[in-house]
Amino acid sequence: MKHSKIIVTLTMLLTMLIISGGVTAGSSDTATDAPLTVHNSDESAILVSPGMDNPRVHNVVEQFNNLAIHGDALGARKGVAGEACSCVHYQSIARGQDIGGVPHMFLTRSGNDGPACTDLPCFPDFWNTCTECWPSRCSAECSSYIGDRKPGELVVVELSSRDLNGERLRSNLLLTGGQIRNTVAYGGDAAVGFCPDPEPVGGCHPKKPYLFDGHFDGHKYWPMYMHPGGMQLVGDVLLVALEASCDGSFTAWDPDGSDINCTNEGLKKGAVALIDVRSPAEPKLLHVEELWQGEPWKGVYLVAATYVAEHEHPDLTQGGRYLFVWTDDDKTYYFGWSDTDDLRTTTNIALCRIWKKEYLGQDVSKWNMSWQTLNFVRNADDGALYLIGMGSTSGYANKGADWARLFKVDLSKLNAID
Q: If you write DSSP's letter for every residue of 348-363 in order, what string do you get?
A: -EEEEEEEEGGGGGGG
Question: Which DSSP letter does residue 395 get?
Answer: S
Alpha helices in 22-169 (DSSP H): 60-65, 134-141
Enumerate the domain spans of the chain. Answer: 5-113+148-413
How far apart (Å, rounded) are the C-alpha atoms in residues 404 and 344? 30
Q: Is the pTM here over 0.75, yes or no?
A: yes
pLDDT score, position 208: 80
Among candidates 92, 96, 376, 58, which has minimal Cα distance to 235? 96
pLDDT per residue as tens, the chain (418 positions): 232 333 333 222 222 233 333 333 333 333 334 454 444 433 333 334 445 787 789 999 999 999 888 888 999 998 888 766 656 778 899 999 999 999 999 999 888 755 444 344 444 343 333 334 444 444 444 555 555 678 889 999 999 999 999 888 999 998 888 888 888 888 889 999 887 666 666 666 667 889 898 888 888 999 999 889 999 999 999 999 998 888 777 765 454 444 567 777 766 778 999 999 999 999 999 999 988 765 666 789 899 999 999 888 888 888 899 999 998 877 788 999 999 999 999 999 998 888 888 888 888 888 878 888 999 999 999 999 999 998 888 766 556 788 899 999 988 877 655 4
Helix (H, G, I), strand (E, B) or coil at 244: strand
How far apart (Å, rounded) are the C-alpha atoms in residues 265 and 294? 18
24, 65 contact by CB (below 8 A): yes
Q: How far is CA 210 from CA 157, 196, 241, 368, in A?
A: 11, 10, 15, 33
pLDDT score, position 130: 37
Alpha helices in 76-218 (DSSP H): 134-141
